[in-house]
């Protein structure tokens, strides 16, 4: 089954761009998420963590 899929994917022109594009999107998302998490204000995190207890 995988041989058929591999053969079909090899015949599509420009298909090599999709793995690179998906890697770039994946990397950019997690770098952006990391920047957002580490730049979040500590006071806001404390306020949000106490919400379930109020």
Residue 33 in domain: yes
pLDDT one-digit tens code per residue, 1-52: 667 777 777 777 777 788 899 999 999 999 999 999 999 899 998 998 999 8
Helices marked H in the chain — which ranges?
Answer: 2-11, 17-39, 42-49
pLDDT of 43 reads 92
Residue 3 in domain: no
pLDDT of 14 reads 77
Range of the domain at 25: 19-54
pTM: 0.59
Q: What gap in Å lies between CA 10 and CA 12, rounded to an integer?
A: 6
pLDDT of 1 reads 64
Residue 46 in domain: yes
């Amino acid at each position: 089954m995988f041989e058929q899929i591999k053969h079909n994917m090899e015949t599509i022109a420009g298909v090599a761009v999709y793995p690179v594009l998906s890697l770039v999107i994946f990397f950019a998302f997690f770098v952006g998420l990391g920047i957002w998490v580490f730049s979040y204000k500590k006071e806001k995190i404390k306020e949000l963590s106490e919400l379930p207890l109020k």
